[in-house]
A and B are shown apart, each in its own frame.
Chain A
Amino acid sequence: MAAIVSIRNVVKEYNLGKVVVQALRDVSLEVHAGEFLSIAGPSGSGKTTLLNLIGCVDTASSGDVEVCGRNTGRLADRELTNLRLNQIGFIFQSFNLVSVLSVFQNIEFPLLLQQKLSASERRARVMALLEQVGLGGYAKHRPNELSGGQRQRVAIARALVTQPQIVLADEPTANLDSVTGQNIIDLMKDMNRSQGTTFIFSTHDHNVMSHANAVIRLADGRILDRVSPEAIGIQVREAHP
């Protein structure tokens, strides 16, 4: 299977005043389509930085990052934005819904930016997704009328509505209780299976990690290894049906 994300010898440095911090040091990684990949590591190990590079919201200081066949280091802001819009979905730790828009509008938003579908097509797609994430009756609610778990479901629907090749999730369950977090992971796994969407998520929750096909372990900006969850002593659990 072809690599959907290909990272070679990437270094990412941040200038914090006079100090230069290396967030990633010579990282190389390949992700294949359809993977359900977890990035694990302690705080400050570079998980979020790695996700940002893959998500085209940031570019490497050196080395190559190829996403869906495009080298992000060579793309203008405009093209990076288009790449994000069409190929990548985002799920954030704090859900990041637009508070003044309804659930329906939040999910519809990327489709409006794409300007590819008609109003009825958009409606059909949004409503189908809402059913899938179990929020069929909540289309007109505002985000602040929903629980955390419900909000993250809306965020998942928003990430998937453009049918992207990759969905990135940065600590998607960190702000949720364990049961709700479990449900969210189950939902993501479902989507991964049914639509073949590649999921890459960061977490330090072993419970969440156990769902992954593979776990990339990071420490101090370097990839320690790429292992299966079992290999690091996590019992693999199946998603709830």
Chain B
Amino acid sequence: MKGRLATFGMLAQIAMRNLFASRLKTLIIGGIILFGAILVVVGSSLLDSIEQSMSRSIIGSIAGNIQIYSAKSKEELALWGSFGAETELAEMDNFATIKTRLESLENVERVIPMGISGALVQSGNTIDLTLAELREAINAQRSGNSSASLQEKIESLKAHVRQMCLVLHGDMKNLQVLADQTAFDAGNAEAIERAISDAFWAEFDQDPLNGLEFLENRVAPLTTDADLLFLRYAGTDMDAFARSFDRMRIVDGEAVPTGHRGFLFSKFYYEEFLKLKTARRLDKIKEGLEVKGRTLATDPELQRFVKANVTQVREIALQLDSIKTRQVVERLQAFLGSKETGLEPLLGAFFQMDDANFEQRYPFFYSEIAPLLTLYRIPMGGTLTIKAFTRSGFVQSINIKVYGTFEFEGLEKSTLAGSLNLMDIVSFRELYGYLTTEKAEEIARLKASVGVQEVSRDSAEEALFGGGRDSLVAEAMPGVVSAVEELEGTTRTLREKDLQARVFAPEETNQGVVLNAAVILKDPKRLDESILAIQQLSDREGLGVKAVSWQQASGLIGQFVLLLKLVLYAAVFIIFVVALVVINNAMMMATLERVREIGTLRAIGAQRRFVLQMVMIETVVVGLVFGGIGAVLGTGIVALIAHWGIPATSDVMYFFFSGPRLRPELASGNLLAAFIIVLMVSALSSFYPAWLATRVSPLQAMQTED
């Protein structure tokens, strides 16, 4: 044993001496291994950290640990859509049972019903909103309210509409200059001319409803500031959602009260799409300057924001009535020290911001100008009208109260996490085209009142065309009308108000259609095991659900880390293949140079195994030493990165980093991986030269030096 140890010592010594004897070769081989080791350590720890934080983002924002959906679905669940389209899921049968059964599993904390869909929402333009307000006020007056404050409000609104018409008139003139005469609709110009004339407004006072109609039908469509917004929402059990995703917090407004229909905007979406664009751009400039350290002088994106603010002052001008216009003009004159009297030139001058004046102008905007504006298109407590295509293809629309905005801690800036808004599941079902309990009741009542009979498939032909005395055709058709379409005007409004106010029982959230559900685990580490348990339970009891991990459920996004990993592995693989070739070559050369020495060793009694070990130990020593240095350096780099943190420079990175900065952690697994890879590469690369060395004949010792 001692002898073996001494032999090994001798081998190591020969190896070390040989390494020192050919320093350049050692350094080249060592350098490659060093680089490879650093890459493995830093790369794998970075990716592991991204994976961890991304899983935090996905699990914590919507997915939960496991998602379940109907096994009958033709497509796979993709929480963030797949290639931009929503995936179609079959509804789960009997969700209440599924929920109860799954929650009986030992590692399942909670099951939260969900459904994800999207709709286009017209955000309404300023003139529409103002006209609606004006109509309401005039109606109030006509129904007997003659208070002075109401009259004042009407006057103010009228002035505002007139102001807007003036702005439109200006636009129209500009357009006339630009556009081809034939393409220009003279009727539109006439309408505007009329709307700004004193005669029209004198007439308006006499017959306001007629005037309103003209404005609504002829003038309002000419404004182009209305946005078609794409709204993605998840219908869910709001209470369970808030309890389970504890990183969620309400930012503005309040949570939707238990049992109420209601909508929560994601804070990000609310800011990005519903805020006055000028204000949003100012916020973005501020963030760019303060958080990301850019400057207006150098950054093209921020310059673009400034330019847009300067040229698009009309968005603000439209919002101001004559009184407010005067106020803004006075304030801007004082602030800018300008004698200019036009609102738009003043606004233009004000928004011409640079690095020097931004610090004063930004707070001035929010303290002096913003209070006169409507900053958000839909205020907290306001009503959102969502129109969506149901599964069967007809358009369904609901009005839903906006209670507040929410965000997920650490994902405030993430487009992805912020793309999803929340609504109660009862409203969701209605939009999605499924019967809510109350609708089912209503239809049953309607059916009863018009005398509809159930017609089975088998007897349909007979019933419809049988020609008997009870032909269904004539009588039954009027009954097949959407409950909502049937109700018009005031009745409809009342019904909707009633719906909004109606409290539904908590059980209702679990009865009825659920498309998918998040499963929150008690111990998230036992993910695979729990998926299997759910699947087995479902198979055993015929629940018909399919369970997938959060990563699978997140579709392409979940695969992103996998992709990054593949890239890293490819890079590591290439580096080590290069290392393999270079080391192999170098060792071949070294072996050839040492043929006589090896022959001598063989002649004086060294076995082939000894020679094999001698050559291999040499590379392994290089591998261990430089791999070790690489691992230490890599650890240092990871620690440095963790100390500084990699800033998330884009919104997507917020999601992947689960916060503003990524602070990677080094796992012992990363070091172990580096160690094993380096060891394997050095052993592999020297194996062939070592084997060749064993083939050196002792006869070679007899050769003379030259």
Chain A residues in contact with chain B, CB under 8 A? 48, 51-52, 55, 57-58, 77-78, 81-82, 84-86, 89-90, 92-94, 96, 98-101, 105, 109-110, 112-119, 158-159, 162, 170
- A77 x B610 contact (CB < 8 A): no
Given known A-B contacts A101-B17, A115-B3, A115-B4, A92 and B701 have beta carbons under 8 A apart: yes
- B17 x A84 contact (CB < 8 A): no
Listed stretches B271-279, B373-381, B537-545, B601-609; interface member? B601-609
Within 8 A of A (CB), among B651-706: 697-699, 701-702, 704-705
Interface contacts beyond A92-B600, A98-B601, A119-B6: sample of 12 additional A-B pairs, CB < 8 Å, sorted by A: A55-B603, A81-B605, A84-B698, A85-B604, A85-B605, A92-B701, A96-B600, A100-B17, A109-B604, A110-B605, A113-B607, A115-B4
Residue of B2, B597, B600 touching A118 (CB-CB under 8 A): B2
A89 to B603, CA, bound (A): 9
Listed stretches B7-15, B200-208, B239-247, B481-489; interface member? B7-15
- A115 x B596 contact (CB < 8 A): no
Given known A-B contacts A93-B704, A99-B597, A81 and B602 have beta carbons under 8 A apart: yes
- B7 x A115 contact (CB < 8 A): yes
Residue of A57, A86, A116, A170 touching B698 (CB-CB under 8 A): A57
A96 to B703, CA, bound (A): 10
B700 and chain A: residue at smallest CB distance: A57
Given known A-B contacts A57-B698, A93-B704, A82 and B605 have beta carbons under 8 A apart: yes
- A90 x B4 contact (CB < 8 A): no
State whether the Cβ of B356 lies closer than 8 Å to any Cβ in chain A. no
State whether the Cβ of B139 lies closer than 8 Å to any Cβ in chain A. no
- A57 x B701 contact (CB < 8 A): yes
A100 to B597, CA, bound (A): 10
Min CB distance, B311 to chain A, in Å? 78
A55 to B701, CA, bound (A): 12
Give the 7 A-B residue pairs with the shortest CB-CB distance, closest first: A85-B605, A115-B3, A100-B17, A57-B698, A96-B600, A94-B705, A84-B605
- B605 x A86 contact (CB < 8 A): yes
Residue of A48, A94, A100 touching B18 (CB-CB under 8 A): A100
State whether the Cβ of B21 lies closer than 8 Å to any Cβ in chain A. yes
Residue of A52, A57, A81 touching B606 (CB-CB under 8 A): A81
- A90 x B604 contact (CB < 8 A): yes
A-B contact pairs, 29 of them (CB 8 A): A51-B702, A57-B602, A57-B603, A57-B697, A57-B699, A57-B701, A81-B605, A84-B603, A84-B698, A85-B605, A92-B701, A96-B701, A98-B601, A99-B597, A100-B17, A101-B13, A101-B14, A105-B13, A110-B604, A112-B3, A112-B6, A112-B7, A113-B7, A115-B7, A117-B3, A118-B2, A119-B2, A119-B6, A158-B604
What are the residues of chain B within 8 A of A118 when measuring CB–CB? Answer: 2
A94 and chain B: residue at smallest CB distance: B705
- B600 x A113 contact (CB < 8 A): no
Per-residue interface assignment for chain B, residues 601 to 633, with 1 indicating a CB less than 8 Å from any chain A CB and 0 otherwise? 111111110100000000000000000000000
- A84 x B604 contact (CB < 8 A): yes
The winner among A84, A112, A170 for most chain B CB atoms within 10 A is: A112
Min CB distance, A173 to chain B, in Å? 14
Min CB distance, B467 to chain A, in Å? 105
Residue of B13, B601, B704 touching A94 (CB-CB under 8 A): B704
B701 and chain A: residue at smallest CB distance: A96
- A100 x B604 contact (CB < 8 A): no
A92 to B705, CA, bound (A): 11
A159 to B602, CA, bound (A): 13
The winner among A86, A96, A162 for most chain B CB atoms within 10 A is: A96
- B596 x A96 contact (CB < 8 A): yes
Min CB distance, B5 to chain A, in Å? 10
A98 to B600, CA, bound (A): 9
A174 and chain B: residue at smallest CB distance: B704
Per-residue interface assignment for chain B, residues 517 to 557, with 1 indicating a CB less than 8 Å from any chain A CB and 0 otherwise? 00000000000000000000000000000000000000000
Residue of A78, A84, A98 touching B597 (CB-CB under 8 A): A98
What are the residues of chain B within 8 A of A101 when measuring CB–CB? Answer: 13-14, 17
Given known A-B contacts A52-B699, A57-B698, A57-B701, A112 and B604 have beta carbons under 8 A apart: no
A100 to B604, CA, bound (A): 17
What are the residues of chain B within 8 A of A114 when measuring CB–CB? Answer: 3, 605
A101 to B596, CA, bound (A): 15
A78 to B610, CA, bound (A): 12
- A98 x B702 contact (CB < 8 A): no
Min CB distance, A72 to chain B, in Å? 13
Min CB distance, B373 to chain A, in Å? 84
Min CB distance, B8 to chain A, in Å? 10
Min CB distance, B40 to chain A, in Å? 32
Min CB distance, B126 to chain A, in Å? 87
A99 to B598, CA, bound (A): 12
A214 to B597, CA, bound (A): 32
What are the residues of chain A within 8 A of B610 when measuring CB–CB? Answer: 113
A217 to B646, CA, bound (A): 83
What are the residues of chain A within 8 A of B705 when measuring CB–CB? Answer: 94
What are the residues of chain A within 8 A of B4 when measuring CB–CB? Answer: 115
A81 to B305, CA, bound (A): 83
A27 to B702, CA, bound (A): 21
B6 and chain A: residue at smallest CB distance: A112
- A112 x B701 contact (CB < 8 A): no
A110 to B10, CA, bound (A): 11
What are the residues of chain A within 8 A of B18 when measuring CB–CB? Answer: 100
What are the residues of chain B within 8 A of A82 when measuring CB–CB? Answer: 605
Given known A-B contacts A48-B702, A96-B701, A109-B10, A90 and B603 have beta carbons under 8 A apart: yes
Min CB distance, B594 to chain A, in Å? 10
A86 to B607, CA, bound (A): 12
What are the residues of chain B within 8 A of A51 when measuring CB–CB? Answer: 702
A117 to B2, CA, bound (A): 9
Given known A-B contacts A48-B702, A78-B607, A112 and B10 have beta carbons under 8 A apart: yes
What are the residues of chain A within 8 A of B605 when measuring CB–CB? Answer: 81-82, 84-86, 110, 113-114, 162
A114 to B18, CA, bound (A): 23
A167 to B269, CA, bound (A): 92
A114 to B610, CA, bound (A): 12
A119 to B10, CA, bound (A): 12
The winner among B6, B597, B605 for most chain A CB atoms within 10 A is: B605
Min CB distance, A123 to chain B, in Å? 11
The winner among B2, B7, B610, B701 for most chain A CB atoms within 10 A is: B701
What are the residues of chain B within 8 A of A158 when measuring CB–CB? Answer: 604
A85 to B705, CA, bound (A): 23
Min CB distance, B618 to chain A, in Å? 11
- B607 x A81 contact (CB < 8 A): yes
- B21 x A113 contact (CB < 8 A): no
- B702 x A105 contact (CB < 8 A): no
Min CB distance, B505 to chain A, in Å? 86
What are the residues of chain A within 8 A of B2 when measuring CB–CB? Answer: 118-119
A100 to B698, CA, bound (A): 19
Per-residue interface assignment for chain B, residues 363 to 406, with 1 indicating a CB less than 8 Å from any chain A CB and 0 otherwise? 00000000000000000000000000000000000000000000
What are the residues of chain A within 8 A of B14 when measuring CB–CB? Answer: 98, 100-101
What are the residues of chain B within 8 A of A92 when measuring CB–CB? Answer: 600, 701-702
A170 and chain B: residue at smallest CB distance: B702
A89 to B6, CA, bound (A): 22
- A90 x B3 contact (CB < 8 A): no
What are the residues of chain B within 8 A of A112 when measuring CB–CB? Answer: 3, 6-7, 10
The winner among B698, B701, B702, B705 for most chain A CB atoms within 10 A is: B702
What are the residues of chain B within 8 A of A113 when measuring CB–CB? Answer: 7, 604-607, 610
Min CB distance, A103 to chain B, in Å? 14
Per-residue interface assignment for chain B, residues 344 to 360, with 1 indicating a CB less than 8 Å from any chain A CB and 0 otherwise? 00000000000000000
